[in-house]
Amino acid sequence: MTTLIVIAVIVAVLAFVVIGSYNKLVALDQRADQSFADIDVQLKQRNDLIPNLVETVKGYAAHEQGTLNAVTQARAAAAGATTVNDKVAADNMMTAALGRLFAVAEAYPDLKANTNFLELQRELSDIENKLAAARRFFNNAVAEFNAVRAQFPTVLFAGMFGFGQEKPFFDVGAAERETMNAAPPTVKF
């Protein structure tokens, strides 16, 4: 009889551990999915601004068609991205294209003074700040999920529950990392 009680207690403890591990993984998975949805919202807002920005620049810099096409292509890629890795690649392409667009704008003083352009630039800057915060929140949620998924005893059950794969981070990408490691720009007055 004592052996049966010991076995029942061990089974109950194991059941609590398994249920607790599963519930923790589900909660962290949901948090990561929610934070990724927050990134999607910011990316959509940014993508919605792009046509207005392109049209404003087009009026001043019509011969800069290559830059405008790059921004339009980056927007199309961003709209078609579905996975985290695709969205990271599209986001990096959009960031680079917008950087080139704003560099073009520097050559046109009338454009830089245009209130519509300035307002779009301010809105884009605001969205970029929100997007950076959403990326940090997402990467934090992913790090927490990946850490719990790899910890004992959860690692024993994660695969059985469908949580066998690590979630990818929303990172800047290799090309952007190389740019960040380049020599800083020199500023002369």
Please state the rounded mean pLDDT for residues 75-80: 87
Stated pTM of the model: 0.75
Please state the rounded mean pLDDT for residues 156-173: 86
- Domain containing 154 equals 25-178
Say how many CA atoms lie within 13 Å of 125 toward its Cβ.
7
**Cα Dmax for the chain:** 90
Overall domain count for the chain: 1
For residue 136, the domain's CATH number is 1.20.1440.20
Q: How does pLDDT run across 168-186, given as a tens digit for each residue?
A: 998 865 555 555 455 444 4
Residue 13 located in a structural domain: no
Confidence at residue 189, expressed as pLDDT on a 0 to 100 scale: 32
Residue 50 located in a structural domain: yes
How distant, in Å, are the alpha carbons of 90, 130, 170 from that of 73? 10, 23, 21
| Residue 126 pLDDT exceeds 70 | yes
Residue 148 located in a structural domain: yes
More confident position, 59 or 98 = 98
Residue 166, sorted as left (phi over 0), alpha (psi -120 to 50) or beta, turns out to be beta
Confidence at residue 184, expressed as pLDDT on a 0 to 100 scale: 46
Residue 186 located in a structural domain: no
Is 23 buried (19+), middle (13-18) or exposed (0-12) by CB count in 10 A? exposed
Residue 184 located in a structural domain: no
More confident position, 108 or 140 = 140
- The angle, 0 to 180 degrees and rounded to 10, between the axes of the packed helices 2-60 and 65-80 is 160
Spatial contact of 38 and 138, defined as CB atoms under 8 Å apart: yes
Residue 185 located in a structural domain: no
Spatial contact of 21 and 160, defined as CB atoms under 8 Å apart: no
